Amino acid sequence: MQNYIPLLIFFAGGLLGASMHFYFKFTSLRKLSIAASETLTFKTYWNREYPSYICAILTVVLFCFLLRELQTLYPKIAGLIRLISVIVGWMGNRLLQRAMGNTEKNLLAVIDKKTNIADKVVSGDDVTGHDLADLQNAKDLKK
């Protein structure tokens, strides 16, 4: 049992790091959802983002398998195992949410569409803006 304590500490730290990033990302996206005039609940966020969270936990598990080798190669890192585990969990979740995440992309698309409608670039799904030739013709007509 003594041999598994560093692995359990490493796994718990990685789980903590991934969970912290998941929570902080949720709070920042909740603020973004207000700008998009949408409601974002934890349940909808979890349903959209759970694959990246599970992959981040699998990354921590993979690192648990490499922990013994890292400790034998670099004995000085033994005191930093807790910090390294939190960083692995945090960064694993961050990178995987950036690659696999849908929530932020969807919210930014809604905000972009609303901005384009406000700027009269698009109206609904139709393009109502003018292309460059039409704008040049309008300038020529004013002269």
- For range 80-107, the mean pLDDT: 88
Within the chain, residue ranges assigned H as helices are 5-35, 42-73, 81-100, 103-118, 132-142
Q: How far apart are CA 62 and CA 140, in angstroms?
A: 66
pTM reported for the whole predicted model: 0.71
Q: How far apart are CA 65 and CA 77, in angstroms?
A: 16
In the chain, where are the structural domains located? 2-142
Q: Name residues whose C-beta falls within 8 Å of residue 26's C-beta, 6 or more positions apart in sequence.
A: 40, 42, 45
Q: How far apart are CA 67 and CA 71, in angstroms?
A: 6
**Sorting pLDDT into bands at 50, 70 and 90, what band is 126?**
very low
The alpha carbon of residue 10 and the mean position of all alpha carbons in its chain are separated, in whole angstroms, by 23
> What was the pLDDT predicted at 127?
45
> What was the pLDDT predicted at 136?
52
pLDDT digits (tens, 9 = 90+) for 35-58: 888 888 999 999 988 998 999 999
Share of the chain above pLDDT 90, in %: 28
The residue type at 29: L
Q: How far apart are CA 79 and CA 82, in angstroms?
A: 8
